[in-house]
Every structure is written in C-alpha cells, then in structure tokens.
Amino acid sequence: MFKVLAIDGGIMLGVIPAQVLTRIELRYQDRLGGRRLIDCFDLVAGTSTGGLIAAGLTTKTPSGESRTPQVIKDLYYDRGSEIFPPKGWFGNTVTKIPLVKHLYRLPIFRTMYSAKGINRVLRDTFGDTTLSQADPYLLVPSYESVRRAAYFFSSKDLGPDQEVDDETYDWMLRDVCRATSAGPPFLPAHFIREPAKKRYYCFGDGGTFANNPTMCAYAEAITKFKKPHDDIMILSLGTSTPNKREATDLPEDDRQMTEEELRQSYAAIPGRAFTILDMKDIVQMLLDGNADTVNYQAKQHMGERYLRINPYGSHQLTGDAFRSDRGRLNAWCDLADNAFEFQQEQLDHFMDCLISDKDPAVKGD
C-alpha cells in the first residue's frame, strides 16, 4: 500500500493535528518497533499550518535532529505568540465593541498581522533546509497570485531521475512554509525569487483552494508515483470544524426549524447579507466548504482506505484561530483528544493496516 498523511490548514488550530499525531505515535509506539510514525508514510501533504507540520516532520532540525509530533506541538505553544501577538488587555476590551471589532477586521490598509514574526520562526525552525531534503516525500500547495495559478511544492519533482531542474525548484523550506501560510487578509503575500534567481513569484495561502490537501496528495500518488487507486490509503487530519451548530443542538429533521430559529443560528449571520464586515466569516465559510467537499470526494473514491479525524468545536471555542494563549491551546488539544478517543476503533484498524502494510478495505486481511 502507498501511504499518505494529509494535514489541513487552520492557523493556530494546527495544534490539533499535532496533538492527534502525538497521541497516535504514543499509542502505537510498540507496534512501530522503534520507527517514527512519519516513517510509515510514503508521502506527507500539508496546507498552510499543515504545511509547516508536514515540513517539520519530514526534515531534520538545523542541528541534524529528527522532529517528533510533540516537538511540532511545542512550537505552537512556545512561538505561536510571535506569529500572532495577542492584542493585550486594552485591545481585547476595545475590540469587543461591535463597530470597533468590525473596523479592526477590515483589511483595507494592511494585513491583520506582520510577517516579521512568522519569518523569524520559520528561519529558526528550518534554517537552510531545502525541499529536496524531505523524507518521506513532501507536497505543499500554495497559490501564485501573479500568474493566477495553483502551485505545488513537490519534493517528488526533484532528484536525479526527474526532469525538473533542482537548482531552479529546490526551494528553501522556510519559503515553502511561508508561501503556503500567506493567508489573506491575515498575513502578507510572500514575494520571492526562485532558487536559480530567474523569476519572481508572489505566493498566497494554499488554503484558498486546497485547505484540505487530501485530493491533491491522491492525485500526486496516482500521477507521479504511478500507484493504482486501490493501492493508496490516506490518513487525513483536520483542524476542527468550527462555525457549525453542535449535532445535539439540531432537530432530528432540519426542516423542522422555523424561520426565526434559522435566522438565530450562527451560520445565517442574522439581519444582513455577507459584506466586507463579515470577512472573517466569509473566509471560514470558504475554508470549511473546501475541506468538506474534499472529504466527500475522498470518501467516495477511497472508502475504507481513507480515514479522517476532524473534531467538532463550537464557534466560541474555535472561531478565533489566531489565539496563542496557553489556555486556548490546551482547549484545542482537548478537542483533539476527544476526537482521537471517539474514533479509536476505526483508528486501531487503520493503523494496524498502515503499520502492517495491509489493505484496510479487505475484510479479514
């Protein structure tokens, strides 16, 4: 079986898949027999914050040490506030005023956050490590806004047996991670020249079209690795499903909801159409719809060879994905733990097949 790990984008909510991977590696460490969990996979794909996790797990530190999921998780705790600084007491108080809150969100004159923090963190984390050094193979989507085209940073494209010029496309991983996480309107686009110093690129967040990179990885496995569709298994990790009412809050039949109940639900944005004042909600709607669509496609294509772990969280808990305080990170890790335990039976079967190289769709195998 060709084994793929796919990790969604989600800003600071990336601590959720990092925690899930930490729990998986701890639970199955005896079965792994001394191997790292990441060594069980042939391809790792990640978008935005998921790209940072994927890049971190598939490469070594500048000092030559391998990273565990726990090390990646600690990065969110130790350095998240450098990327998304808290507003402080005054900022938190003032931005609770409705008008000020909306004006603060408007990306008219600047992005919400500077790139200085994330640039510093990525340089410290990856140093001069390049895309070709990823092991296993790495796939990271981004969007090139000058040419209006999706762009895929793929380590499979590099190497002596490939037609691609390594000198031209062996990007620094710090640039790859910066490119895939340049989320409008929150962080500035990443404007750089290719390694061979020929052309300029202007990259935006890969989440604009592939926040859930599962199907990108599936296509990569089929086209570049020449794997048949029934020889591919994918573990997909989400960063929670926010902005949705809890399943227990919904009537058995949604059609029983009155117009007033519908208008009062969060998703309806009561009393007005989507406008620039709802920028944050619009972005979240696009990301959720993207991820849910890919999840549907993967289920239809792969059946039991596909497993997705993506916890549900209330809007109050997951709606502000820029929070970097320890209390909120702990709460998100609790969401990850709940999802991990809820899907334990499915995960046990899937991991048994992944570690033993068996087809999860074959009964009794």
Percent of the chain residues topping a pLDDT of 70: 77
| pLDDT at residue 90 in the model | 43
Q: Are strands 190-193 and 200-204 parallel, antiparallel or unpaired?
A: antiparallel
Indicate the DSSP class of residue 164. Answer: S
What integer is the mean pLDDT of 269-286? 58
Residue type (1 letter), 116: K
What integer is the mean pLDDT of 127-131? 95
The pLDDT tens digits of the residues spanning 255-266 come to 455 666 555 554
What integer is the mean pLDDT of 208-215? 94
**Rg of the chain in Å (alpha carbons):** 20
| pLDDT at residue 251 in the model | 45
Nearest alpha-carbon partner for 141 in 132, 150, 133? 150
| 21 or 103, greater pLDDT | 21
| pLDDT at residue 289 in the model | 80
The pair of three-digit structure tokens given for residue 292, joined into one six-digit string? 């849910």
Rounded-to-10 torsion of CA 303, 342, 319, 329: -120
Residue type (1 letter), 200: Y
SS3 content of the chain, % helix, strand, coil (to 5): 50, 15, 35
Residue 315 CB partners (closer than 8 Å, separation 6+): 242, 243, 244, 266
What integer is the mean pLDDT of 295-318? 86
64-68, 282-286, 314-318: least confidently modelled range: 314-318
What integer is the mean pLDDT of 112-134? 93
The pLDDT tens digits of the residues spanning 213-237 come to 999 999 999 999 999 999 999 999 9
Residue 315 has pLDDT above 80, yes or no: no
Q: What is the pLDDT confidence band of residue 249, given thresholds at 50, 70 and 90?
A: very low
The pair of three-digit structure tokens given for residue 261, joined into one six-digit string? 């109940």
Helices (H), 64-115: 69-83, 88-94, 98-105
Residue 121 has pLDDT above 70, yes or no: yes
Output the DSSP codes for 238-289. Answer: ---B-SS--GGGS-SSGGG--HHHHHHSGGG-TTS---GGGHHHHHHHHHHH
Residue 144 has pLDDT above 60, yes or no: yes
pTM of the model: 0.85
